[in-house]
């Protein structure tokens, strides 16, 4: 009797301890039976949470009329302020205004937020105002009331950079109305000293319309919003990505002109429908796995099926070594590693699910209609690997792919320019030859194996002189604009 009670008590204790252990240390996938149930790392889920009642405990407020996945964490990352957000899409500017008025009703001035970022779609708002300009002006009144009633609150309004495809689909009457909606917005709010309106119809309009993205990088618009927030005074002369009473007509005319070139621009990209493209590399590919990734832009430009196998911090030397974790992932891609081993070693990688997807597709196609894009070198350089070691590793990677998937096409990219430090010492920026030995080694490996090669400097127009335009503040990784340019260069290269 006693022994049974003791056994039961010990069993209960074991179950409790084991449950706590499992909660703190979730089981890694060992046999792949759950892999297909994992959400794709490429998928971006939109926010659907309304703002809670504002209590005056935060510095900034963000609300968008159009689709937005902005979050408190993202705003703090960009701007360093505690923020409250409305992430649910407001169906009309009237609802946006009503919601904000309700949230800020009876809030004393000392508790009022210092900053607001408000997203408005002028054309949609005008249409929802029965295409009545006077009614639309009235709907904008809530911004004017906030701005005039709270002069210490800086209000930054972002307008969506809708795609050229959308604008090019407008007939002449609709185009005039859309143009007019943006002009009305600027004119109505132009007299308010604490309001700035940001608009960025990006080059050739492949970028998406959200001005602030979850897990995204600094975009030109975000960078300028950040600069204006941090400035002691809003500079009335600063016009980068700003719509003002002086430039709005000209910029809207340019917008319409760009939209008219949509078909021409799309025609400059290769049509890779039916192709599978595998991006294998380091953080240049792998740090961003959302709609702003190089692979995502490339997919949208070319119609290819893409697999982002980039993994931050990885070098060619490590990837070519099957004893390393990333080497195990690469070996699994080539069919030389068991699923159980791959899952146990590589489950924590951001690229894990993409590697599994890619391997499944390659088993099915045996590499037919496949393109492998290899990009390494930065981490080999920073990790102290010699250019000879890097070259040998690139040879191993290229030959591994070719021997396994002989019908696949291989393209090697060189490492690009950086403006970065090495052990606390800035690298020389005046010679234009940072990482040159590693670029040369990548070119030699491509030549030795008779595969294609592109230099991220000479063939893409990335130069050290304008590096800050396309690099993140860390001076190593590409910002959104840089990733867009990289994808665009690839899309046009394959057109040739």
Per-residue pLDDT tens digits for 60-86 = 566 655 444 444 555 555 555 566 665
CATH number at residue 170: 3.40.50
Provide the pLDDT for residue 116: 81
Q: Is the pLDDT of residue 404 over 90?
A: yes
Question: Do 193 and 221 lie in a common domain?
Answer: yes
- Could you tell me if 314 and 376 are in contact, meaning their C-beta atoms sit under 8 angstroms apart? yes
Q: Which of 214-228, 308-322, 352-366, 432-446 has the lowest mean pLDDT?
A: 214-228
Q: In this structure, is the dihedral angle defined by the CA atoms of residues 205, 207, 212 and 217, taken in order, positive or negative?
A: negative
Q: Is the pLDDT of residue 296 over 90?
A: no
Round to whole Å and give the CA distance between 7 and 11.
Answer: 6
Round to whole Å and give the CA distance between 475 and 457.
Answer: 15
Q: Angle between the 172-189 and 141-149 helix axes, to the nearest 10 degrees?
A: 20
Q: Residue 371 domain-assigned? A: yes
Q: Which of 280-289, 351-360, 411-420, 430-439 has the lowest mean pLDDT?
A: 430-439
- Could you tell me if 280 and 375 are in contact, meaning their C-beta atoms sit under 8 angstroms apart? yes
Q: How far is CA 63 from CA 107, 178, 212, 234, 475, in A?
A: 17, 22, 11, 21, 31
Question: Do 244 and 286 lie in a common domain?
Answer: no
Q: Residue 401 domain-assigned? A: yes
Please count the residues of the chain: 496
DSSP 222: H
The residue among 264, 288, 321 that closes a domain is 264
Query: What φ, ψ does residue 242 adopt, rounded to 5°?
Result: -105, 135
Average pLDDT over residues 352-356: 93
Phi-psi region of 367 (alpha: psi -120 to 50; beta: other; left: phi over 0): left
Q: Residue 35 domain-assigned? A: no
DSSP 421: E
Round to whole Å and give the CA distance between 177 and 158.
Answer: 19
Round to whole Å and give the CA distance between 415 and 431.
Answer: 16
Question: Which residue(s) pair with 349 in the sheet?
Answer: none
Provide the pLDDT for residue 203: 45
Round to whole Å and give the CA distance between 249 and 199.
Answer: 13
Average pLDDT over residues 227-252: 66
Q: Is the pLDDT of residue 337 over 90?
A: yes
Round to whole Å and give the CA distance between 29 and 344.
Answer: 6
Q: Residue 452 domain-assigned? A: yes
Question: Do 490 and 347 lie in a common domain?
Answer: yes
Question: Do 197 and 317 lie in a common domain?
Answer: no
118 alpha carbon, distance to own chain's centre: 21
Over the chain, what is the mean pLDDT?
77
CATH number at residue 436: 3.40.50.1110
Provide the pLDDT for residue 237: 55
Mind listing the pLDDT tens digit for each residue in 24-48?
A: 554 443 333 444 433 333 322 223 3
* Helix, strand, coil share of the chain (percent; to 5): 45, 10, 40
Q: State the pTM of this model.
A: 0.67
Round to whole Å and give the CA distance between 47 and 476.
Answer: 30
Provide the pLDDT for residue 162: 62
Q: Residue 12 domain-assigned? A: no
Average pLDDT over residues 252-276: 86
3-state secondary structure of 84: strand
Question: Which residue(s) pair with 281 in the sheet?
Answer: 310, 375
- What does the CA dihedral 438, 444, 449, 452 come to, rounded to 10 degrees? 80
Q: Is the pLDDT of residue 207 over 50?
A: no
Average pLDDT over residues 234-258: 76
Question: Do 255 and 276 lie in a common domain?
Answer: no
Q: Is the pLDDT of residue 477 over 50?
A: yes
Round to whole Å and give the CA distance between 349 and 357.
Answer: 14
Question: Do 333 and 398 lie in a common domain?
Answer: yes
Closest CA to 452 of 489, 404, 484, 493: 493
Percentage, residues of the chain above pLDDT 90:
36
The residue among 264, 284, 307 that closes a domain is 264
Question: Do 186 and 309 lie in a common domain?
Answer: no
Apex 465 CA angle, 460 and 468, nearest 5: 85
Q: Residue 288 domain-assigned? A: yes
- Could you tell me if 121 and 71 are in contact, meaning their C-beta atoms sit under 8 angstroms apart? no
Round to whole Å and give the CA distance between 445 and 376.
Answer: 12
Q: In this structure, is the dihedral angle defined by the CA atoms of residues 27, 33, 34 and 38, taken in order, positive or negative?
A: positive
Question: Do 144 and 248 lie in a common domain?
Answer: yes
191 class by beta-carbon count within 10 Å (0-12 exposed, 13-18 middle, 19+ buried): exposed
- Could you tell me if 275 and 491 are in contact, meaning their C-beta atoms sit under 8 angstroms apart? no
Question: Do 184 and 155 lie in a common domain?
Answer: yes
Q: Is the pLDDT of residue 278 over 60?
A: yes
Round to whole Å and give the CA distance between 214 and 227.
Answer: 20
Q: Residue 489 domain-assigned? A: yes
Percentage, residues of the chain above pLDDT 70:
70
| Domains contained in the chain, number | 2
Longest Cα–Cα distance in the chain? 92
493 class by beta-carbon count within 10 Å (0-12 exposed, 13-18 middle, 19+ buried): middle
Provide the pLDDT for residue 429: 45
Provide the pLDDT for residue 359: 96
Q: Residue 314 domain-assigned? A: yes
- Could you tell me if 127 and 99 are in contact, meaning their C-beta atoms sit under 8 angstroms apart? no
Q: Which of 14-23, 100-109, 221-230, 256-265 has the lowest mean pLDDT?
A: 221-230
Q: Which of 83-87, 108-112, 410-414 has the lowest mean pLDDT?
A: 83-87
Banded pLDDT at 431 (limits 50, 70, 90): very low
Provide the pLDDT for residue 65: 55
Closest CA to 184 of 242, 243, 224: 243
Question: Do 220 and 158 lie in a common domain?
Answer: yes
Domain that residue 184 falls in: 60-264
The residue among 214, 240, 264 that closes a domain is 264
Question: Do 381 and 481 lie in a common domain?
Answer: yes
- What does the CA dihedral 233, 235, 236, 239 come to, rounded to 10 degrees? -150
Question: Do 259 and 315 lie in a common domain?
Answer: no
Provide the pLDDT for residue 403: 97
């Amino acid at each position: 009797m006693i022994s049974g009670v003791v056994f039961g008590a010990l069993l209960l204790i074991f179950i409790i301890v084991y449950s706590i252990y499992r909660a703190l240390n979730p089981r890694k996938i060992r046999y792949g039976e759950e892999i297909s149930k994992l959400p794709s790392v490429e998928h971006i889920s939109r926010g659907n949470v309304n703002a809670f009642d504002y209590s005056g405990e935060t510095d900034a407020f963000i609300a968008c009329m159009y689709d937005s996945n902005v979050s408190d964490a993202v705003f703090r990352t960009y701007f360093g302020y505690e923020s409250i957000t409305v992430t649910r899409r407001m169906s009309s500017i009237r609802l946006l205004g009503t919601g904000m008025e309700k949230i800020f009703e009876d809030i004393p001035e000392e508790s009022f937020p210092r900053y607001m970022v408000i997203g408005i779609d002028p054309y949609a708002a005008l249409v929802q105002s029965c295409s009545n300009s006077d009614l639309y002006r009235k709907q904008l009144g809530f911004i004017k009331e906030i701005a005039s009633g709270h002069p210490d609150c800086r209000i930054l309004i972002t307008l969506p950079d809708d795609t050229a495809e959308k604008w090019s689909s407008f007939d002449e009457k609709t185009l005039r109305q859309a143009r007019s909606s943006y002009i009305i917005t600027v004119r109505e709010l132009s007299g308010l000293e604490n309001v700035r309106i940001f608009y960025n119809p990006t080059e050739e309009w492949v970028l998406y319309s959200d001005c602030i993205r979850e897990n995204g990088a600094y975009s030109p618009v975000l960078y300028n919003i950040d600069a204006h927030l941090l400035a002691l005074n809003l500079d009335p002369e600063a016009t980068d990505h700003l719509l003002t009473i002086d430039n709005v007509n000209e910029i809207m005319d340019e917008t319409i002109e760009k939209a008219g070139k949509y078909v021409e621009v799309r025609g400059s990209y290769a049509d890779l429908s039916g192709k599978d493209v595998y991006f294998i590399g380091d953080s240049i590919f792998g740090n961003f796995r959302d709609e702003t990734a190089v692979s995502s832009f490339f997919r949208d430009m070319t119609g290819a099926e893409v697999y982002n196998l980039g993994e931050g911090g990885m070098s060619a030397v490590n990837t070519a070594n099957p004893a390393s974790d990333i080497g195990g992932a690469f070996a699994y891609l080539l069919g030389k590693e068991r699923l159980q081993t791959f899952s146990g070693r590589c489950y924590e990688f951001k690229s894990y699910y993409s590697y599994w997807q890619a391997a499944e597709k390659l088993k099915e196609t045996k590499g037919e209609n496949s393109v492998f894009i290899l990009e390494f070198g930065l981490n080999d350089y920073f990790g102290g690997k010699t250019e000879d070691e890097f070259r040998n590793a690139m040879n191993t990677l290229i030959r591994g792919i070719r021997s396994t998937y002989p019908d696949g096409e291989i393209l090697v990219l060189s490492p690009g320019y950086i403006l970065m430090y090495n052990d606390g010492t800035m690298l020389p920026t005046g010679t234009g030859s940072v990482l040159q030995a590693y670029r040369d080694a990548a070119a030699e490996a491509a030549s030795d194996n008779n595969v294609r090669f592109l230099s991220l400097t000479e063939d893409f127009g990335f130069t050290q002189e304008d590096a800050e335009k396309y690099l993140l503040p860390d001076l190593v990784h590409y910002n959104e604009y840089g990733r867009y340019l990289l994808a665009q260069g690839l899309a046009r290269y394959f057109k040739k």
